[in-house]
Every structure is written in structure tokens, then in C-alpha cells.
Amino acid sequence: MPKFEECLQRLESIVKEMEKGELPLEQSLKLFEEGMGLTNTCRKELEEAEGKVELLLKQNGQLRAEAFGESSGN
């Protein structure tokens, strides 16, 4: 399974290829299908990461919302 960053890079290249508007319909559909698969992979990885962050922020049985990058030590 490709890593999140690899998926994003491939998605960017697919978008650039499709934005040119020079591809035949069949090739555009193949790239679109690949892009949708990559999008699903990225979404799943983000959901997993979000779940891990929520577990890390859970204190005394309550979830504490905190902006990304904010630390309680400052």
C-alpha cells in the first residue's frame, strides 16, 4: 500500500495531466478511477491518524479538543 505522501504526489500528477485536456476519454477515465482509489486511500489514512490523535488527547475519559500544533506546556 502506498504511503500518504506518495498518494498525494500521484494525485497531483493525475490532476495536472487531466487539466491539460489532451487525453483521450478512455485514458481520462482510467486516471479518474486511479485518482478515486488514491483519494480513498488518503481518506482512510487520515481517519486512522485522527483516531490516534483523539486517543492521545483523551484525558480522564473526556476528549479535549485542541488545535493542531498547540501544546499544553506553553
Q: What's the pLDDT tens digit per position in 36-63?
A: 999 999 999 998 888 887 777 775 666 6
pLDDT at 33 over 80: yes
Higher pLDDT, 65 or 14: 14
Which residues, listed in sequence order, are joined to residue 58 by a DSSP beta bridge? Answer: 63
- CA 62 vs CA 20, 31, 55, 68: distances in Å: 49, 43, 10, 18
Strand partners, 62: 59
69 against 52, higher pLDDT: 52
CA distances to 6, 17, 47 from 54, rounded to whole Å, are 25, 37, 10
Confidence of residue 35 (pLDDT cuts 50, 70, 90): very high
So what CATH class is 4-63?
A: mainly alpha
Amino acid type, 16: K
pLDDT at 49: 86
20 touches 27 (CB < 8 A): no
